[in-house]
Amino acid sequence: MMDKPALPSAIVTGAGSGIGRAIALRLAKDSYGVLVNDLSLERAQSVADEIVAAGGTATAYAGDVSKEAEVAAICAAAVVAHGPVALLVNNAGIAHQALFEHLEVADFDRMFAVHVRGNFLMTRAVLPSMLERENGVIINIASQLGQIGGVELVHYSGAKAAIIGMTKALAREVSSRGVRVNAVAPGPINTPLVMGLSEDWRAAKKAQLPLGRFGEPEEVAAAVSFLASTDAGLFVGQTLGPNSGDVML
Ligand code: NAD
């Protein structure tokens, strides 16, 4: 009997909840073998089980993207389970609100550690093999708050703006060597992260959206699916905005 052809290998960080979960489910439908990473093994396992139950291929692996040794272990686990990584989705993220004058150094540092350092470490871990194979796609989940800023969210907005800048700069370096790098900057999406923000913030945000509604995680996953596909071959260093019209670029 012939072996089944190997599926392309994808890593989605922070995939135990919300947008990351929807991206992992969508990529499995798109025929990737998905390494479902999260801080919580229980959440990652539950999403991997959901994918496998639906006939897809997935492996759960817990790890903190802001820690170098854990990142190495996450990426090694992906290669062992699904082969050389063809697609990395840097999605892991946290939310925290404070007026700038009340912002603690520890909260600022954690925000940048998870979003910016985590993005750097994960990308650094998978890029050499992508360049060697001249084949890879990296998609960074930013936020529309990195483009327009958010009240009580200077640290979050700053970290997400950094991700957009890193996306553009890396795209300039590696696109001619077979690796496409893009970002997705969602507006408010119905996930536990947004439900953790204050009710006042959510009500004010909803009122300013031309579309009049928050997005669903699956609508962000659709943008990721497109950017990962060969249909998006001309998209380089860009930031797609599934944001209910909050930012029109
Ligand atoms: P969520 O809280 O539902 O899920 C985030 C997941 O990331 C959690 O399961 C959490 O355990 C995991 N995580 C946190 N820190 C981690 C770390 N250090 N290492 C590995 N995993 C970690 O949040 P979400 O709304 O699905 O957000 C996903 C991404 O989308 C984040 O980067 C967030 O900033 C971004 N985003 C969200 C919205 C929104 O409205 N929900 C809008 C724009 C951007």
CATH number of the domain that residue 86 is part of: 3.40.50.720
From the CB of residue 200, how many other CB atoms can be counted at a distance below 10 Å? 8
Of the listed 64, 156, 160, 180, which one is catalytic? 156
- 234, two tokens: 């001309």
Torsion of CA 212, 215, 216, 217, to 10 degrees: -170
Please check whether residue 249 lies inside any domain of the structure.
no
**Domain enclosing residue 21, as ranges:** 9-237
Residue 156 is among the residues annotated as catalytic for this protein: yes
How large is the average pLDDT for residues 15-24? 98
Asked whether 23 lines ligand 1 (CB < 6 A), one says no
Q: What is the pLDDT of residues 172-185, one digit of tens each?
A: 999 999 999 999 99
Please check whether residue 243 lies inside any domain of the structure.
no
- 14, two tokens: 């922070």
Asked whether 64 lines ligand 1 (CB < 6 A), one says yes
For residue 11, is it left (φ>0), alpha (ψ between -120 and 50) or beta?
beta
Asked whether 193 lines ligand 1 (CB < 6 A), one says yes
Please check whether residue 205 lies inside any domain of the structure.
yes
CA pair distance 140, 46, nearest whole angstrom: 23
Torsion of CA 223, 228, 233, 234, to 10 degrees: 40
Cα(222) to ligand 1 centroid in Å equals 17
Asked whether 20 lines ligand 1 (CB < 6 A), one says yes
The number of domains in the chain is: 1
Please check whether residue 101 lies inside any domain of the structure.
yes
| Stated pTM of the model | 0.98
Please check whether residue 95 lies inside any domain of the structure.
yes
The pLDDT score that the predictor gives to residue 1 is: 52
Which residue minimizes the CA distance to atom 44 of ligand 1?
Answer: 143
Share of the chain above pLDDT 90, in %: 94
The pLDDT score that the predictor gives to residue 160 is: 98
Q: What is the pLDDT of residues 74-109, one digit of tens each?
A: 999 999 999 999 999 999 999 999 999 999 999 999
Cα(206) to ligand 1 centroid in Å equals 20
Please check whether residue 246 lies inside any domain of the structure.
no
- Determine the 3-state secondary structure of 139 from DSSP: strand
Please check whether residue 132 lies inside any domain of the structure.
yes
Please check whether residue 244 lies inside any domain of the structure.
no
